[in-house]
Chains A and B, each alone.
Chain A
Amino acid sequence: MIACDQLVKRFPGRDALNGLSLHVPRGEIVALLGSNGAGKTTLLRILASRLVADAGTATIDGTDTAVGHRQLAGVVGAVLSSPSAWTLRLGALENLVVFGVAQGLTPKQASRAARQRLDEVRLSEHAGRPVGTYSQGMRARLAIARALLHDPPVLLLDEPTAGLDQQSATELVADLDRHRAERTVLISTHSLTEATALTDRAVLLAHGRVAIDVKTPTSEDELAGLLAGHGSGTP
């Protein structure tokens, strides 16, 4: 279970999180919505132990994300980095093996897991090609493969379809849909299509706090109506 209580994070010139509290039970898929600067990325980075909050606590299965990043490494898979976060001269397989070993797998386990995940995200044929030659869509799928390498029960995804064309985005959503079973997933997105297709619950962040927290409606129009009713503008 993910539990955030009164999280505060300030950067020079702006307050990213302003007393945010959020609880996500095991197995739930949550869409984080909100305009740019609402605090979505900051929240995900704190949960992924890549950032430490100034105040408040964030725990995953009872482990404080501020101090327990080594314990949480096996629990959390994340897509938070830029599309260039690879050794661009090497192939996908070599890249995934390195990241898999960093997650605690042995080189053999990492190689086996990498081949399996590459197959799942339809990149096996390109496994030996330098990642620097991949399209945005291929890199996005590769990032999903990296996040899933160690089969984590918690997935944190920061706008995984950003910058993708419609078809690539649709394919990626289908890939994510296949892997959501039995996982707790937080996915930040500006896409209502993604939110309604993938998630059980929609949380709108505004000014570093939870503004709306509802069961995700099945229709985009209904979700758009809920958000508009709050007056927080576009997600």
Chain B
Amino acid sequence: MNLLRVCVWRDWLVMRTRTPALLFDLFAVLMTAVVFYYLAQYLDRGQDFFPFVLAGLTIVRIHGAVPRVLASSTARIADGSLEVLMSGRARPAVVFLSEGAFELARGMVLAIGVLLVGVGVFGADVTLTAPGLAAVAVGLVGATLILLALSTALLALLMVLREAGAVGSFSGVLLPILGGVYFPLTILPAPLESIARVLPFHVPVDVIRSGLTAGVFPTTQVAVLAGACAASLAIAALLARPAVQHARRAGRLALE
């Protein structure tokens, strides 16, 4: 946990040196809400579609951290600093989680920004209740953990494939289609819906959506979310070790 803490601290310090990037991020938060607010107006479903999609947009915002983690890790592989971290006492999975933690946490803060803009500025018709807000909070944390697991698994894949662009693109198409972000999973063809139901991405979306639109705390869905988080993190951690060992054998722990 110490490594995770100091890596978050490191990335926080780096972010403070990059004010323009932060301003662009905040602008992107505003624009995300703008796009879907007017899309909802155009579809003439206004009050139904916007709150529906708002829940999904929060996850999309957090997911935006994943390609950033891949990009920064690719740079750390290239300059050799990731290899130095890997040569320490920490397990590979801990190093990967530490590399992604700050970006994912930042993504969660930006997702809260999307919610605030959607409700406060564009008047999304949500049900604000204490149980509903608790569900949103739990859903956001759960989404962050699942996407942290995704970034860890993709970093493991990156150690083997060394194709950051392809890995990032692969990740980019997963969520919108299989996460129930923009449309309900029920409208997908049966085989795709089955795959989407097995993957964990729709679970936090469902929890947040229940909290926002119905104002309830969906206990069963939250329990499923907790299980999905634990399983995702465990699988990602299992992938890290053989991936790093493969890189050691191939001589590709750092680019030379």
Q: Which of B88-96, B108-116, B144-152, B186-194 contacts A (4 or more CB under 8 A)?
A: B88-96
| Chain A 29-84 residues near chain B, CB threshold 8 A | 45, 48-52, 66, 69-70, 73-74, 78, 80-82, 84
Question: CB-CB < 8 A to A45: which residues of B?
Answer: 251
A110 to B18, CA, bound (A): 26
Size category, A interface? 35 or more
A110 to B249, CA, bound (A): 30
The answer to whether A48 and B2 touch across the interface, beta carbons within 8 angstroms, is no
Contact with B along A139-164 (1 / 0, CB 8 A): 00000001000000000000000000
Smallest CB–CB gap between A208 and chain B, Å?
14
Question: CB-CB < 8 A to A50: which residues of B?
Answer: 83, 86-87, 248, 253-254
Question: CB-CB < 8 A to A97: which residues of B?
Answer: 6
A85 to B251, CA, bound (A): 17
Q: Which of B7-15, B22-30, B43-51, B166-174 contacts A (4 or more CB under 8 A)?
A: B7-15
Describe A's contact surface by its main secondary structure: loop
The answer to whether B10 and A87 touch across the interface, beta carbons within 8 angstroms, is yes
Q: Which of A99-107, A177-185, A218-226 contacts B (4 or more CB under 8 A)?
A: A99-107
The answer to whether B84 and A102 touch across the interface, beta carbons within 8 angstroms, is yes
B41 interface residue (CB < 8 Å to A) = no
- The verdict on A73 contacting B17 (CB below 8 Å), with A51-B253, A87-B10, A102-B95 known, is no
The answer to whether A87 and B81 touch across the interface, beta carbons within 8 angstroms, is yes
B79 interface residue (CB < 8 Å to A) = yes
- The verdict on A104 contacting B88 (CB below 8 Å), with A51-B251, A98-B6 known, is yes
A44 to B11, CA, bound (A): 31
| Chain B 215-256 residues near chain A, CB threshold 8 A | 245, 248-249, 251, 253-254
A73 to B86, CA, bound (A): 10
The answer to whether A102 and B79 touch across the interface, beta carbons within 8 angstroms, is no
B85 interface residue (CB < 8 Å to A) = yes
Question: CB-CB < 8 A to A9: which residues of B?
Answer: 251
A70 to B13, CA, bound (A): 28
The answer to whether A52 and B249 touch across the interface, beta carbons within 8 angstroms, is yes
A87 to B81, CA, bound (A): 8
Smallest CB–CB gap between A155 and chain B, Å?
14
Question: CB-CB < 8 A to B86: which residues of A?
Answer: 50
Smallest CB–CB gap between B5 and chain A, Å?
7
A81 to B79, CA, bound (A): 8
- The verdict on A73 contacting B88 (CB below 8 Å), with A84-B79, A86-B79, A102-B95 known, is yes
A74 to B89, CA, bound (A): 7
The answer to whether B80 and A49 touch across the interface, beta carbons within 8 angstroms, is no
A23 interface residue (CB < 8 Å to B) = no
Residue in A closest to B89 when the chains form the complex, CB atoms: A104
Residue in A closest to B91 when the chains form the complex, CB atoms: A70
B119 interface residue (CB < 8 Å to A) = no
Question: CB-CB < 8 A to A52: which residues of B?
Answer: 245, 248-249
Smallest CB–CB gap between A69 and chain B, Å?
7
Question: CB-CB < 8 A to B85: which residues of A?
Answer: 98-99, 102
- The verdict on A90 contacting B80 (CB below 8 Å), with A52-B249, A69-B87, A103-B89 known, is no
A49 to B17, CA, bound (A): 34
The answer to whether B84 and A99 touch across the interface, beta carbons within 8 angstroms, is yes
A86 to B84, CA, bound (A): 9
Question: CB-CB < 8 A to B87: which residues of A?
Answer: 48-50, 69, 73, 78, 102
The answer to whether B2 and A106 touch across the interface, beta carbons within 8 angstroms, is yes
**Looking at the complex, which one of B7, B13, B81, B254 makes contact with A86 (CB distance below 8 Å)?**
B81
Smallest CB–CB gap between A72 and chain B, Å?
9
Question: CB-CB < 8 A to A69: which residues of B?
Answer: 87
A94 interface residue (CB < 8 Å to B) = yes
A112 interface residue (CB < 8 Å to B) = no
Which A residues fall within an 8 A CB radius of B? 9, 11, 45, 48-52, 66, 69-70, 73-74, 78, 80-82, 84-87, 89-90, 94, 97-99, 101-104, 106-107, 110, 130, 146
Using A85-B84, A89-B13, A130-B17 as known contacts, list a sample of 9 further A-B pairs with CB atoms less than 8 Å apart, ordered by residue number in A: A50-B254, A70-B89, A74-B89, A84-B79, A98-B6, A99-B84, A102-B95, A104-B90, A107-B2
Q: Which 9 A-B pairs have the closest CB atoms?
A: A102-B88, A81-B80, A85-B80, A104-B89, A84-B79, A85-B81, A73-B89, A52-B249, A101-B6
